[in-house]
Amino acid sequence: MINREKYTIIIKEQAKSLGFDFCGISRAEKLVEEEPKLESWLKNGFHGKMAYMENHFDKRLDPTKLVPGAKSVVSLLYNYFPDEQAKPSYHKIARYAYGKDYHFVIKEKLKILLENLREEIGEIEGRVFVDSAPVMERQWAEKSGLGWIGKNTLLINKQQGSYFFLAELILDLDLKYDGPIKDYCGTCTKCLEACPTAAILDNGVLDASKCISYLTIELKDAIPAEFKGKMKNWVFGCDICQEVCPWNRFSKKHQEPAFNKTEGVKEVTDREYIEFTEEVFGQLFKDSPIKRTKYQGLKRNIDFIQKQPI
């Protein structure tokens, strides 16, 4: 018991020292309640053409299949809320894409965290994850008390809202576990009402195939004509359901220099968005999450909204 408490304190202190805003811990076990929900979501085709979501079904639900001998899931939140919004522009990008690619920034911090823990605690077996493996990040963060999954299906933290990157350590270490908190969405339906493509269903389910983030990033085919006039000029991701969420009035400016706006985001004019070449795209967005769309994807998105009224 003493070691469990001691190790838990060490983990949370080390996480804080590396810039993680919140840290919660859960027992590594199968997410039994999530199984029928995930099965139904896939069966209804709400994952669109993200075929990879059908893979590793068992691993998504059971962290011990990802890390043999796992005893704990450490969930972490890293703030990305900017102090300055993107300049007024016809072309909108999600706030999380203002700075450098979070996968690399946070993955490096997780590796340092794991090494620091090994130095302080001893040999630990484990893996680090940040939006790159079959881990149900929001469910684990909710289970460990970092917030609740809102009606927009994002994790909402009571202290600071939802502008966070989620990350995990799955460890073979027995720790002191946190518990979930209540859902504070209440009767609010602002996110459902604001979603221009009706992607957020009234039962707390996201039809990702209609989500602007999916349409502008994950979808590799042409954007279906049914979404003409509904994209609200988003060319990479979308923040609408976060912008209208009352809990985001508590958002605080991030403290991570890597998430400050890159030159590409800062300097590109509306005309340049329309006219840039593949070479310029590579230069502007080489360290940005925006490169995920590739040149052709971003051009597709830009061309699609050009046909809409401003």
pLDDT given at position 265: 82
pLDDT given at position 83: 80
Q: Would you kindly state where each structural domain of the chain is located, as residue ranges?
A: 2-82+101-171, 190-306
Predicted model pTM: 0.94
Query: Is pLDDT above 90 for 104?
Result: yes
Contact between residue 78 and residue 167 where contact means Cβ atoms under 8 Å apart = yes
* Mean pLDDT to the nearest integer, 20-42: 97
Q: How far is the C-alpha of 50 from the C-alpha of 23, rounded, in Å? A: 29
pLDDT given at position 306: 82
* Mean pLDDT to the nearest integer, 185-210: 96
Report in angstroms the alpha-carbon separations of 180 from 28, 124, 128, 229, 230: 14, 26, 22, 40, 36
Task: Pick left, alpha or beta for residue 66 (phi over 0 → left; psi -120 to 50 → alpha; otherwise beta).
Answer: alpha
Helix (H, G, I), strand (E, B) or coil at 24: strand
**Per-residue pLDDT tens digits for 256-278:** 999 998 877 877 777 777 788 99
Q: How far is the C-alpha of 163 from the C-alpha of 82, rounded, in Å? A: 9
**How many other C-beta atoms are found inside a 10 Å radius of the C-beta of residue 291?**
18
pLDDT given at position 273: 78
pLDDT given at position 268: 73
Residues belonging to the active site = 131
